[in-house]
Structure 1
Amino acid sequence: MYKINYIKDIALLLLLFIPALTYGQAQQQKVLTLQEFHQIILQHHPVAAQAALLSEQARQELRIARGTLDPVIASKVYRKEFGGKEYYNLWNNTLYVPLWFGPELKAGFEKNQGQYLNPENTTPSDGLSSVGISVPLGQGLFIDERRATIRQARLMQDIAEAERVKLINKLLLQATKDYWDWLFYYQQAQLYQESVGLADFRLKAVKARAQEGDLAAIDTVEALTEVQTRQVLLQEALLGYNNARLMVATHLWAENETPLELQENTIPAIVGSEVATLSAADLKQLLETARTNHPDLRKLTLKGEQLQIEQRFAADKLKPKLNAEYNLLQSDFYMRPEMWDNRFMGENYKLGLSFSLPLFLRQERGKLQLTKAKQQTNALEQIQASREIENNLLAAYNEWLALEEQIRLQQQMVENANILRNGEVTRFENGESSLFLVNSRELKLLEAQVKLYNLQAKYAKARTFLYWSAGSMEAK
């Protein structure tokens, strides 16, 4: 009686048929590595473009702030005529040049005439030119609104950079998690696909042996049920795989905000999910990186510096306004060398001194106290954020270590399950076991292998989260 050598046929299937099929597929498949995936995201993803615009916005804010130091030219012309009489013609031109350290330079030319001209506005026939300076002696001497705004705008550039890094880190964190899910479902689908092929081959072998009378007919039902069970598992795995591919595809963009589709023959790379021990020195370096460069802490530190500038400006408001102004005059538009002579300067000038001070200073004192309260709030928030970031990083590190140990144990469980499966197959061939037990052992092996894939995906996610917690996601 002809009998199929079950063990040899199974070995033939595993060594020839399945590897050949996988090799044929690999010739057509394109591997998308995690690094390539990140590069595509950083180049064209809308969120990455939005993050880049934050730096541009900050540069323009600084440009606006510096505009307060732009020279200003002003010109005014007034004419009055009534009842056929010309009352006056007034023409006044002024150039203002603010200086960074507080004073303001001023140059002007005015030419006025008319029968009813106010004597104060009387000028020589060739006009009256002036050049002078206005100096704050009280409020505004060391800091003023212009200088405070520009300094805060400079810090805003660094804050925008920290916010940009935060957005990119968040984007890459989610994208990387989706990538590892994609890898897990891909491995699971591949495993179940191979198991369906193996169960189908076994069904054919059992049918042949049943026809020869070597096995009971009921074994064919057992083998068919196992094929159907694995087909259901394969369909569930394919559903998860296709959904994971869609989630990965949502992060793929081309130029001009054009969404990209993930091709059917594109598969994930396993590189990055392998166990890689993190030393104590590396952990210490990550903690130091988190303390100095984490975007959330950088933003709070820079905000504190902005509040220091705001406090200086608010304290300066408590001083009285005391401004001195001196203008040198001459009787035409063109400046003559003799105008810088001491005698000329002492006989042709316009001098002014202004003083003002609120009696109660309630607005100024309230602003100063409000700024100090904001500083205390920011300092407390910084302390809390620093503690949370450090603890989140340590928690991620603990999870990484735990998963590393779980993976080692699960690998041993896979090896043990494989030994038990092979032993059960041998017993079945010797007539000492049943097809049900063989299938049970094989399902246990599949479950152990799927759990190993799941742990490896979790391990890769934990590694990603660890570096994200340190604020260095963009570099990974």
Structure 2
Amino acid sequence: MKVKFVLLVFLMGCPAVFFQAAAQRTDSTAVFTIRDLMEQLVVHHPVARQAQQLTEQARQEVRMARGVFDPVLASKYYNKELSGKNYFTLWDNVLKVPLWVGELKAGYERNSGVNVNGENITPPSGLSYFGVSVPLGQGLLIDERRATLLQARQAQDLAEADRVKMINKLLLEAAKAYWDWAATYERWQLLEQGFQLAQVRLQAVKERVIQGDLAAIDSVEAKIEVQNRQAQLQQARTEYQNAVLVVSNFLWGENATPLEIPENIRPSLVGTETEPMASDALSELLATAREQHPEVQKLEIKTRQLEVERRFTQNKLLPKLNLEYNLIGPGNSLSGQWLEGGYASNNFKVGASFSVPIFLRQERGKLQVTRLKLNATHLELQQTTRENLNLVQAAYNERQMLEDQITLQEQIIANSTLMRNGEQQRFENGESSLFLINTRESNLITQQIKLYELKAKYGKAKYYLQWAAGNLSSTWNPLARVR
């Protein structure tokens, strides 16, 4: 009878203690929070490191585009000798300095020989020149060099938007994996303790069968419950192990070393506490999605790039009219006399070139294509902005709904606990059956699991809302609670 009394006391007291302690238990295992995961993620994950390189890559592309404005130093030397006779010796050295509009040029040339073209004859000491060429038609307002540089600068902003997009997606995927891991862990722990509780009940029922207080069939009922919970426990353990592998995909160390989660590491539900948002939070998120979402920014940047292309294409409708003026003088160096008033009007070389296609079909066709691209991008921007705003609204509604469901689920668990304890009391008084006790207890475990699943969904909803607004990477702070 003493053994029977001890088992009954444990049987009656354990459920309430267990289900109260499930949410606040402490153990010796190490806790790995979502903050720890994100802190490791943004530093070492290959995708995060790849995203960080996008900015540097865009900076180098701007550097390449600026290369067309680099000064160029060139030299040409040609010599022809035949039967000991110097037909010609041509030597030309020039420094070209591209300007935002036009080009500066300075050089020295010396040509000699019996067959030198008359227009290329220079004094014996050579000829120095300094000049400038300027386009007055096509190329005055914009040319290919300036268009390429302007588009490259826009590409820097485009790379930044791509970087934010990649980091946002990575953080969201990691958050989903982590909260799935946390939910499977809590489910595993609940089923583990529920299985142990069923084993204790089985031993108590067997004792009462031996004492003659219960029929032998009750021990079969208790045994079936143990087996059912054992099967559930095995499935929960496997799901937990698979969830650990998914989270491990996001863990990397230095030198691109993949890391795994040790067996003594457990997740935490810190970050799933219900936190009602301020009344103006939704309007702020909508404004962020409208102005700072990476997809919106990418389309706005694409629009600016197409606008540069439109200006350049439209400029090509103008005729080509280029003027060139060179101040020349004998010798290989500039002289003070070059600055005298009458020198420039007596020692110079000028030139002009003009050309224009008669029908301009290629230029007009390309301009129309660019305008169509611009219009299509504007339409895509309108649609993307609307979709983003609706996505933020839907994510906000989901978060609000989960807050209400968590509160309701906690009330359901409290009532289910009362029902289970009451059924246990009725069973001890001979007014209930073991089947009803198992049913009440299984329902309580199910409700507890549902609560943790709701908490995991709520943790995901917090991240998803920020992701929908496009600012997950900017609002996440490893030193502060994720909101």
Q: Give the TM-score normalised by structure 2.
A: 0.94
Q: 1:114 corresponds to which letter in structure 2?
A: G
Matched residue, 1:99:
99
Look up the SS of the partner of 2:280 in the other structure.
helix
Distance in structure 2 (CA, Å) of the matches to 1:244 and 1:433: 40
Look up the SS of the partner of 2:359 in the other structure.
coil
Question: Does the C-alpha gap of structure 1 residues 17 and 436 become closer, same or farther in structure 2, counting only changes over 3 Å?
Answer: closer
Report the alpha carbon displacement of residue 13 of structure 1 after superposing the two structures with TM.
Answer: 4.7
The equivalences for 1:166-185 within 5 A come to 166-185=165-184
Distance in structure 2 (CA, Å) of the matches to 1:309 and 1:398: 41
Matched residue, 2:294:
295
Look up the SS of the partner of 1:4 in the other structure.
helix
Look up the SS of the partner of 1:442 in the other structure.
helix
Q: Are the counterparts in 2 of residues 169 and 472 from structure 1 also a CA contact under 8 Å? A: yes
Matched residue, 2:328:
329
Report the alpha carbon displacement of residue 440 of structure 1 after superposing the two structures with TM.
Answer: 0.9
Look up the SS of the partner of 1:26 in the other structure.
coil
Matched residue, 1:9:
10
Matched residue, 1:50:
50
Distance in structure 1 (CA, Å) of the matches to 2:408 and 2:329: 95
Matched residue, 1:342:
341
Q: 2:57 corresponds to which letter in structure 1?
A: Q
Query: Could you give the per-residue CA deviations for residues 144-168 of structure 1, whole angstroms, max 9, x where no partner exists?
Result: 1111111111111001000110011
Matched residue, 2:68:
68
Q: Are the counterparts in 1 of residues 22 and 190 from structure 2 also a CA contact under 8 Å? A: no
Matched residue, 2:351:
352
Q: 1:71 corresponds to which letter in structure 2?
A: P
Question: Does the C-alpha gap of structure 1 residues 358 and 150 become closer, same or farther in structure 2, counting only changes over 3 Å?
Answer: same
Q: Are the counterparts in 2 of residues 7 and 425 from structure 1 also a CA contact under 8 Å? A: no
Look up the SS of the partner of 1:272 in the other structure.
coil
Q: Are the counterparts in 1 of residues 16 and 417 from structure 2 also a CA contact under 8 Å? A: no
Q: Are the counterparts in 2 of residues 93 and 109 from structure 1 also a CA contact under 8 Å? A: yes
Matched residue, 1:31:
31
- After TM superposition, what 4+ stretches of structure 1 lie above 4 angstroms from structure 2? 11-25
Report the alpha carbon displacement of residue 280 of structure 1 after superposing the two structures with TM.
Answer: 3.0
Q: Are the counterparts in 2 of residues 18 and 194 from structure 1 also a CA contact under 8 Å? A: no
Distance in structure 2 (CA, Å) of the matches to 1:391 and 1:12: 50
Report the alpha carbon displacement of residue 205 of structure 1 after superposing the two structures with TM.
Answer: 1.6
Report the alpha carbon displacement of residue 197 of structure 1 after superposing the two structures with TM.
Answer: 1.2
Look up the SS of the partner of 1:431 in the other structure.
coil
Look up the SS of the partner of 2:97 in the other structure.
strand
Q: 1:297 corresponds to which letter in structure 2?
A: V
Distance in structure 2 (CA, Å) of the matches to 1:298 and 1:242: 40
Distance in structure 2 (CA, Å) of the matches to 1:147 and 1:307: 14
User: How many corresponding residue pairs?
Assistant: 474
Matched residue, 1:249:
248
The equivalences for 1:269-308 within 5 A come to 269-308=268-307
Question: Does the C-alpha gap of structure 1 residues 367 and 91 become closer, same or farther in structure 2, counting only changes over 3 Å?
Answer: same
Question: Does the C-alpha gap of structure 1 residues 328 and 232 become closer, same or farther in structure 2, counting only changes over 3 Å?
Answer: same
Q: 2:252 corresponds to which letter in structure 1?
A: W
Matched residue, 1:40:
40
Distance in structure 1 (CA, Å) of the matches to 2:197 and 2:359: 91
Structure 2: gaps spanning 5 or more residues: 477-483
2:141 is the counterpart of 1:135: no
Query: Could you give the per-residue CA deviations for residues 104-128 of structure 1, whole angstroms, max 9, x where no partner exists?
Result: 1000101111122212121111111
Question: Does the C-alpha gap of structure 1 residues 23 and 264 become closer, same or farther in structure 2, counting only changes over 3 Å?
Answer: farther
Q: Are the counterparts in 2 of residues 73 and 96 from structure 1 also a CA contact under 8 Å? A: yes
The equivalences for 1:195-210 within 5 A come to 195-210=194-209
Distance in structure 1 (CA, Å) of the matches to 2:399 and 2:25: 36
Distance in structure 2 (CA, Å) of the matches to 1:207 and 1:170: 55
Distance in structure 1 (CA, Å) of the matches to 2:381 and 2:296: 7
Question: Does the C-alpha gap of structure 1 residues 281 and 465 become closer, same or farther in structure 2, counting only changes over 3 Å?
Answer: same
Question: Does the C-alpha gap of structure 1 residues 15 and 401 become closer, same or farther in structure 2, counting only changes over 3 Å?
Answer: closer
Distance in structure 2 (CA, Å) of the matches to 1:177 and 1:184: 11
Matched residue, 1:77:
77
Look up the SS of the partner of 2:295 in the other structure.
helix
Matched residue, 1:86:
86
Distance in structure 2 (CA, Å) of the matches to 1:260 and 1:179: 15
Q: 2:95 corresponds to which letter in structure 1?
A: L
Structure 1: gaps spanning 5 or more residues: none
Distance in structure 2 (CA, Å) of the matches to 1:61 and 1:344: 45
Question: Does the C-alpha gap of structure 1 residues 16 and 470 become closer, same or farther in structure 2, counting only changes over 3 Å?
Answer: closer
Look up the SS of the partner of 2:390 in the other structure.
helix
Distance in structure 1 (CA, Å) of the matches to 2:17 and 2:412: 26
Report the alpha carbon displacement of residue 19 of structure 1 after superposing the two structures with TM.
Answer: 10
Q: Are the counterparts in 1 of residues 299 and 381 from structure 2 also a CA contact under 8 Å? A: yes
Report the alpha carbon displacement of residue 468 of structure 1 after superposing the two structures with TM.
Answer: 0.6
Distance in structure 2 (CA, Å) of the matches to 1:21 and 1:376: 59
Q: 1:36 corresponds to which letter in structure 2?
A: D
Matched residue, 2:479:
none
Report the alpha carbon displacement of residue 250 of structure 1 after superposing the two structures with TM.
Answer: 0.4
Q: 1:282 corresponds to which letter in structure 2?
A: A
2:395 is the counterpart of 1:396: yes
Report the alpha carbon displacement of residue 22 of structure 1 after superposing the two structures with TM.
Answer: 11
Distance in structure 2 (CA, Å) of the matches to 1:91 and 1:430: 118
Q: 1:97 corresponds to which letter in structure 2?
A: V
Distance in structure 1 (CA, Å) of the matches to 2:428 and 2:103: 102
Q: 1:105 corresponds to which letter in structure 2?
A: L
Report the alpha carbon displacement of residue 84 of structure 1 after superposing the two structures with TM.
Answer: 3.1
Query: Could you give the per-residue CA deviations for residues 430-458 of structure 1, whole angstroms, max 9, x where no partner exists?
Result: 11111111111101111111111112212
CA RMSD of aligned residues (A): 2.0
Distance in structure 2 (CA, Å) of the matches to 1:441 and 1:5: 22
The equivalences for 1:319-468 within 5 A come to 319-468=318-467
Percent identical across equivalent pairs?
51
